[in-house]
């Protein structure tokens, strides 16, 4: 057989015995006496298999397995070993991603059979790094609070509305709410909400139904979603929607059905944009880079401290997708194994030049008429929402005659429950 095996065990006798046996079997073996050495080796290369002892003095094997799983490095089979093994420990390790469990002292035939099978399972399918989960979003107070809120609502099946900016991590949060071993169905073909809305429920069972950017649904699609919600309510399934626009405002302008809005917003969770937890950017960037290395997209790369500082200080208007694109560009275009501040500046400089000056969401590098229209649109949408769609109260608040108000709303193309093309 061939392949590279990393043996992690604090007992020198066991390390050497396992190394001797597996070397005789034709494997290339590297030894680590603790978790720190194992981390250092894993940062340099991906072994074909890890034999990992559970009980070690610095960091136990289960904790190290969790670290590799959370930072995207658990892309190789791992066989746990313990002389004090219990069923509970074996089950926990398997849930975290361990391939198998060996109890010490390990029988020779059992060792060779387990290693051979694990190596074969590890190399047959193409390498695929695990997707980004909530733990990869960082450890800032904002993300820790977000995790607590999601955990708090995770036990019931009420619809959840995730609100925030595009790319802030809607699907990651939706997957966090999803119950393992139950179906996950994403509504990608929105036309089916018109033609066959109940078809989504046929295989849903007690799983999660996810719909991204519900604010983009047309009124007839909203009706289909309401019918679907009627079908799945009370059956153990959960609907999770995301929105990058204020549904409140859309209800006020008549673009979103108010009854559906109140049903979807029984639980609303705000997702912070990347710039509001920028201290997490270095960890997220390192996670993204590790995934690229692990899946063979690029050779070994490392983000130097100045590079991480530059990434942290950027505003990331495009949030996670924009950061992901920048990290991929750096990984593929940097000429050395270390990505430094000069490399990051090379990639970010055009974005900084293109990024317009913005005040309260209004671009300032535009003609006065455009900026004024943008402000007036935001102003009237706010008043319509605040006054529950009452044009009389909106006119009073704005200090306008009602006829003048209607003309202004028509000019700004703001829907307000009346036909925009009616003769005013």
- pLDDT tens by residue, 271-305: 999 999 999 999 999 999 988 888 888 888 999 99
Using the predicted structure, report yes or no on whether residue 420 has a pLDDT greater than 50. no
Coil, strand or helix at 276: helix
- pLDDT tens by residue, 362-398: 666 667 777 777 888 888 888 887 787 788 888 888 8
pLDDT mean over 94-121: 87
Asked whether 329 and 294 are in contact (CB, 8 A), the reply is no
Residues 6+ apart with CB under 8 A from 422: none
> What is the reported pLDDT for 114?
92
Tokens 């000019």 label which residue? 411
> What is the reported pLDDT for 370?
72
Q: What is the mean pLDDT of the chain?
A: 86
Neighbouring CB atoms inside 10 A of 203's CB total 9
pLDDT mean over 53-78: 86
Asked whether 209 and 187 are in contact (CB, 8 A), the reply is yes
> What is the reported pLDDT for 312?
95
Using the predicted structure, report yes or no on whether residue 399 has a pLDDT greater than 80. yes
Cα 317 to Cα 284: distance, rounded to the nearest angstrom: 16
Give, in degrees to the nearest 5, the angle at Cα 114 between 112 and 119.
Answer: 95
Using the predicted structure, report yes or no on whether residue 83 has a pLDDT greater than 80. no
Tokens 């990434």 label which residue? 311
- pLDDT tens by residue, 143-165: 999 999 999 998 888 999 999 99
Q: How confident is the model at residue 1 (pLDDT cuts 50, 70, 90)?
A: low
Using the predicted structure, report yes or no on whether residue 128 has a pLDDT greater than 50. no
> What is the reported pLDDT for 419?
34
Q: How confident is the model at residue 125 (pLDDT cuts 50, 70, 90)?
A: very low
The percent of residues above 70 in pLDDT, for the chain, comes to 90
Using the predicted structure, report yes or no on whether residue 336 has a pLDDT greater than 90. yes
> What is the reported pLDDT for 303?
96
Cα 262 to Cα 266: distance, rounded to the nearest angstrom: 6
- pLDDT tens by residue, 236-277: 899 999 998 889 888 888 889 999 999 999 899 999 999 999
* CATH numbers and ranges of domains, the chain: 4-123 (3.40.50.2300), 156-270 (3.40.50.300), 274-354 (1.10.8.60), 362-411 (1.10.10)
Asked whether 130 and 69 are in contact (CB, 8 A), the reply is yes
pLDDT mean over 158-187: 92
> What is the reported pLDDT for 145?
96
pLDDT mean over 386-411: 83
> What is the reported pLDDT for 140?
95
396 versus 87: the higher-pLDDT residue is: 396
Using the predicted structure, report yes or no on whether residue 23 has a pLDDT greater than 60. yes
What does DSSP say about strands 160-163 and 184-186: parallel, antiparallel, or unpaired? unpaired
> What is the reported pLDDT for 358?
60
Q: How confident is the model at residue 308 (pLDDT cuts 50, 70, 90)?
A: very high
- Rounded to a whole number of angstroms, the distance between the first and last alpha carbons of the chain is 83
């Amino acid at each position: 057989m061939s392949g590279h095996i990393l043996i992690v065990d604090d007992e020198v006798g066991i390390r050497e015995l396992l190394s001797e046996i597996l070397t005789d079997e034709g494997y290339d073996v590297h030894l680590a006496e603790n978790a720190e050495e194992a981390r250092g080796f894993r940062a340099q290369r991906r072994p074909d298999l890890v034999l990992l002892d559970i009980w070690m003095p610095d960091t136990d094997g289960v904790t190290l397995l969790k670290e590799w799983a959370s930072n995207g490095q658990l892309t190789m089979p791992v066989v746990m070993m313990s002389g004090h093994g219990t069923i509970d420990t074996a089950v926990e390790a398997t849930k975290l991603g361990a391939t198998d469990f060996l109890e010490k002292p390990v029988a020779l035939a059992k060792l060779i059979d387990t290693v051979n099978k694990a190596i074969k399972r590890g190399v047959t399918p193409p390498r695929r790094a695990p997707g980004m989960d909530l733990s990869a979003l960082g450890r800032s107070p904002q993300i820790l609070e977000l995790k607590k809120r999601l955990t708090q609502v995770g036990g019931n099946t009420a619809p959840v509305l995730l609100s925030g900016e595009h790319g802030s991590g809607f699907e990651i949060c939706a997957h966090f709410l999803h119950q393992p071993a139950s179906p996950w169905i994403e509504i990608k073909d929105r036309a089916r909400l018109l033609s066959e809305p109940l078809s989504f429920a046929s295989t849903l069972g007690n799983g999660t139904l996810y719909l991204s950017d519900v604010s983009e649904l047309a009124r007839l699609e909203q009706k289909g979603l309401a019918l679907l919600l009627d079908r799945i309510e009370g059956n153990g399934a959960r609907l999770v929607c995301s929105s990058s626009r204020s549904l409140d405002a859309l209800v006020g302008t008549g673009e979103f059905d108010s009854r559906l809005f109140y049903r979807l917003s029984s639980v609303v969770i705000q997702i912070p944009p990347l710039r509001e937890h920028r201290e997490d950017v270095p960890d997220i960037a390192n996670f993204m880079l590790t995934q690229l290395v692990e899946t063979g997209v690029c050779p070994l790369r490392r983000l130097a401290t100045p590079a991480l500082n530059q990434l942290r200080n950027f505003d990331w208007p495009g949030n996670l997708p924009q950061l992901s694109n920048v990290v991929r560009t750096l990984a593929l275009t940097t000429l050395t194994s270390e990505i430094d501040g000069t490399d990051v500046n090379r990639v970010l400089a055009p974005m900084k030049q293109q990024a317009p000056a913005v005040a309260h969401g209004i671009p300032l590098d535009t003609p006065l008429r455009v900026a004024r229209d943008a402000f007036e649109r935001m102003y009237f949408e706010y008043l319509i929402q605040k006054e529950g769609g009452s044009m009389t109260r909106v006119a009073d608040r704005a200090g306008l005659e009602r006829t003048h108000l209607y003309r202004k709303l028509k000019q700004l193309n703001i829907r307000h429950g009346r036909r925009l093309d009616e003769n005013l």
